[in-house]
A = this chain, B = another copy of it.
């Protein structure tokens, strides 16, 4: 079992009929795993016959190692082990995040220090990034209507999400692969969320297991867990069973806006050169089930968890109205276009919010409506809340924060957004998030308040 192999020996086993990889200094014969790998056989084959630790580590939770111990056939010759490069470099000491004044500066700082591959995965969006850009621009086309003579000594941004108290109406959206950008990964984001009282949604494709992410959570801390239903339903059921046991996780968020992967060219471009078999996105989506339907999926899901369910990725008033019929099983929807990573030229969440206000406003009374996508300023947060959102999510900004400064970087990101939100509310004349409403919003082209 602990036979010693040379690199040359390992190198011969790079085919479908005999496929070896070196992970953390050990040699594994993974030939039999090829057919069941969620990311597809090609993803393994292209790193076979050599040390795959750098490719494997940042995108797999550690427990994946457990499932392949039976395949271990020996160790690599000590003389040949590569220097321990298996950790993403921690760059958080290089940057004093307190000097970064806004989320754009944090993104720039992170871009400078994280790997090109991490940047490409985080930055990428579908096709021409029209939706990604519009997500942010649409907030700039909305104007705020500040009222005067309001006592703004107090500014209360605390709120409750499905009954759970949070310190601010801003949460961290589920984003995969946090360890690509920083070794602390999703656990680092969790620590920062704890410090500010923010909800965090753990991604289905988190690079740490949910248990690891919540391990050091504060007692008051609130988590959600994102589900991509897998083709192998048993795998999803097993994950749900684990999630059900974690009290820190209060909701299950079912992602619906990405039955297949969007075309993320920045990500593909990086991979075309260095990883010829496919992009990170392609691997992540290889095992996702594209066949979900309303009744079947919800029936199945409600059998496997008793936690409240949230639908993420609704983009039309029609679907929001349908979702509202499924209360109380479904208690919230997240209007989202997946950060522009799914369908390019999909509408920004703000447009969907306006549709809902116009065509099915009763929804706001039946369930909570959250939004994400494009939030970069406190004014963006406030506008979304004014138009009916109960909370707003940030995805990339948390990853840029993590990349730029680890836990402190994520804290800085959340703190900036929180401070800006409070400043905005004070200047607007709103003392609690519950005061916010559409009368505070107008737009740049038609200078009158939204009345629907």
Which residues of chain A have a CB within 8 Å of any CB of chain B? 99, 101-102, 127-128, 130, 134, 139-140, 142-153, 256-263, 265, 268-269, 272, 290-294, 297, 311, 313-316, 318-319, 337, 342-347, 351, 354-355, 358, 377, 379, 383, 419-420, 423-424, 426-428, 442, 444, 447-448
Q: Assess whether B149 is in contact with A256, with CB atoms less than 8 Å apart.
A: yes
Other-chain residue from B101, B148, B313 in contact with A319 (beta carbon distance below 8 A): B148
Q: Given contacts A153-B290, A257-B148, is CB(A272)–CB(B427) below 8 Å?
A: no
Q: Assess whether A343 is in contact with B256, with CB atoms less than 8 Å apart.
A: no
Closest to A137 in B: B444
Q: Assess whether B145 is in contact with A293, with CB atoms less than 8 Å apart.
A: no
Interchain residue pairs with CB less than 8 A apart (24) = A101-B265, A101-B268, A102-B127, A102-B265, A130-B140, A143-B345, A144-B347, A145-B316, A146-B343, A147-B319, A148-B257, A148-B313, A149-B256, A149-B294, A152-B259, A152-B260, A153-B290, A259-B427, A261-B423, A263-B419, A263-B420, A263-B423, A342-B427, A358-B448
Q: Which residues of B contact A290 (CB under 8 A)?
A: 151-153, 426
Question: What is the minimal beta-carbon distance from A266 to any residue of chain B, in angstroms?
Answer: 10
Q: Assess whether B347 is in contact with A442, with CB atoms less than 8 Å apart.
A: yes
Given contact pairs A101-B272, A144-B343, A344-B379, a sample of 14 additional A-B residue pairs in the complex whose CB atoms are under 8 Å apart: A101-B268, A128-B140, A139-B345, A145-B346, A146-B257, A148-B314, A150-B293, A151-B292, A153-B291, A259-B426, A261-B423, A262-B427, A343-B428, A358-B448
Closest to A290 in B: B152
Q: Which residues of B contact A130 (CB under 8 A)?
A: 140
Q: Across the A-B interface, give the 10 residue pairs with the lowest CB-CB distance, nearest first.
A: A351-B447, A148-B256, A343-B427, A151-B291, A149-B294, A143-B347, A152-B290, A260-B426, A145-B316, A101-B265
Closest to A104 in B: B128
Closest to A127 in B: B377
Closest to A322 in B: B149
Q: Assess whether A344 is in contact with B377, with CB atoms less than 8 Å apart.
A: yes
Q: Which residues of B contact A427 (CB under 8 A)?
A: 257-260, 262, 342-343, 346
Q: Given contacts A290-B426, A448-B358, is CB(A315)–CB(B146) below 8 Å?
A: yes
Question: What is the minimal beta-carbon distance from A320 to any residue of chain B, in angstroms?
Answer: 10
Q: Which residues of B contact A424 (CB under 8 A)?
A: 343
